[in-house]
Structure 1
Amino acid sequence: MGFTGFPDEAFLFYEGLEADNSKTYFTRHKTLYEEAVRAPMLALVEELGPEFGEAHLFRPYRDVRFSKDKTPYKVHQGAFVDLLPAIGLYVEISAAGLFVAGGLYSQAADQLARYRAAVAEPLTGKPLDSIVETLRAGGYEIGGDRLKTRPRDYPADHPRIDLLRHRTLYAGRRHDPEPWIHTADVLGHVQRSWRAFGPLVDWLCAHVHTTTLPRR
């Protein structure tokens, strides 16, 4: 069957999981998760696949090995189209609704150096600035991990100092769980947003690309 929307039960499932993030709750409601959350998300990304590429669904379990927060389950279901490692397109549902995003989600040291060099250089940095401003004008939020101060070796009055402070960079938009989220209209919303993110993702792929550093 094709994608027909996310049922109300998907959001009720996550409301319950936020209130009781336990193995007991998840086990008791696993069938609901599979039918109301995972199956519709799989159907959605399958329909998006021909245009944007194959998406990977994230597991519902949290990696708590190095976290102070030991709650075992994620309170959202995300899917990611990995155009390059950590660069791509994202969609998520949670109790808060639908979230769509696209950009760069982590960088190794060599990628960060290439990113900052490309931002600093007018020939490549100005186009990124224009892309970001176009996305803001279209109602998208610009997010990512950022330094609180300027990065070393770059002046505080650099014309793109705000972009230089970014260690990760993405654009996104959140949608409340309105009635259209329960319908196939979600597909069109995600398509329009992912198309809007295209220039940002293309810039990142061209100028940051894949790390060449060995894995630790």
Structure 2
Amino acid sequence: MQFEKSTFTFLKDLQKNNDRDWFADHKEVYLKAQKNAKNIFSEIHKNMQMHDEIEKSKMMRIYRDVRFSTDKTPYKAHFANSYSRLGASLRGGYFLRIRPGESFLAGGFWEPSKEDLFRIRKEIEQDASEIRAILEAKEFQKHFGNQFESFSELKTAPRGFDKEHPDVDLLRKKGFIASKSFTDEQVLSENFTVEVDKSFRALRPFFNLFSDILTTNLNGESLI
């Protein structure tokens, strides 16, 4: 099972003709492309269940809510899907977006709650060696490089933390995300779902460590 070229053609055309009249005239083409994407996302979900517990797989709507967006075009010129892990002890989430020229997958903690972010920072403050080990692991670097991304960062250490702390680069982050980009050729290849699954598997040590951090106190005692 793979993405069809016609799915990419639809998305490229939508980028150039992002208006309601054009979309209405090409509704059947959209439905075919949507079905192809949904089947791929389902295949990936099935593969993930072999090595993780996924509570929910959700394909994002193509219709943009323009009330809360600076982009006022009515449609998102991509297909995207999120995968939520099961239960309070399995933290972290997966995400995949397919957009010509800008496809990527990601996983981690995009906007952790105030309490979760503080707990992660306290762990970093006390001992960041295990987190650093994740970033230095061969398999993680193969898929995601050697650093976490964040939707935003503080300019200095957060209030109450040492500005000269050796791991201040981690303390400054407001989220912890690993992401990987794909070329159009990679997305359209026969083994794309396999490559996505390999990348998601590479996130497990990261998820396992952060799940442990977020479900224990600084003494390692369980909170659940």
TM-score w.r.t. structure 1 length? Answer: 0.82
Deviation at 1:139, TM superposition (A): 4.3
User: Are 1:64 and 2:66 counterparts?
Assistant: yes
In structure 2, distance between residues paired with 1:88 and 1:147: 20
For residues 161 and 44 of structure 1, do their structure 2 counterparts lie closer, same or farther at Cα, with a shift above 3 Å needed?
A: same
2:60–2:80 Cα contact (<8 Å) kept: yes
Shifted more, 199-208 versus 5-14: the winner is: 199-208
Amino acid at match of 1:129: R
Write the mapping of 1:74-85 to structure 2, written as runs, cut at 5 A: 74-83=76-85
Aligned match for 2:141, one of 137, 140, 157: 137
In structure 2, distance between residues paired with 1:163 and 1:30: 46
Tell me the alpha carbon deviations over residues 158-198 of structure 1, each in whole angstroms, 9 at most, x when there is no partner.
222112111111111111111x5334311110111000011
2:60–2:81 Cα contact (<8 Å) kept: yes
User: Are 1:120 and 2:117 counterparts?
Assistant: no
Tell me the alpha carbon deviations over residues 22-46 of structure 1, each in whole angstroms, 9 at most, x when there is no partner.
222322223222222x223322232
RMSD: 2.3
Shifted more, 87-96 versus 65-74: the winner is: 65-74
Aligned match for 1:43, one of 39, 43, 47: 39
- Equivalenced residue count is 202
In structure 2, distance between residues paired with 1:207 and 1:28: 51
For residues 200 and 25 of structure 1, do their structure 2 counterparts lie closer, same or farther at Cα, with a shift above 3 Å needed?
A: farther
1:89: which partner in 2? Answer: 94
Unaligned runs of 5+ in 1: 210-216
In structure 1, distance between residues paired with 2:104 and 2:63: 19
User: Are 1:156 and 2:163 counterparts?
Assistant: yes
Seq. identity, %: 26
For residues 87 and 75 of structure 1, do their structure 2 counterparts lie closer, same or farther at Cα, with a shift above 3 Å needed?
A: farther
Amino acid at match of 2:126: E
2:222: which partner in 1? Answer: none
Deviation at 1:97, TM superposition (A): 5.2
For residues 154 and 25 of structure 1, do their structure 2 counterparts lie closer, same or farther at Cα, with a shift above 3 Å needed?
A: farther
For residues 13 and 111 of structure 1, do their structure 2 counterparts lie closer, same or farther at Cα, with a shift above 3 Å needed?
A: same
Deviation at 1:101, TM superposition (A): 1.5
Unaligned runs of 5+ in 2: 216-224
Aligned match for 1:99, one of 74, 97, 104: 104
Deviation at 1:207, TM superposition (A): 2.6
For residues 5 and 18 of structure 1, do their structure 2 counterparts lie closer, same or farther at Cα, with a shift above 3 Å needed?
A: same
For residues 106 and 47 of structure 1, do their structure 2 counterparts lie closer, same or farther at Cα, with a shift above 3 Å needed?
A: same
SS of residue paired to 1:138: helix
In structure 2, distance between residues paired with 1:28 and 1:161: 53
TM-score w.r.t. structure 2 length? Answer: 0.79
SS of residue paired to 1:199: helix
Deviation at 1:136, TM superposition (A): 6.0
Deviation at 1:81, TM superposition (A): 0.9
Aligned match for 1:196, one of 196, 202, 209: 202
2:154–2:174 Cα contact (<8 Å) kept: no
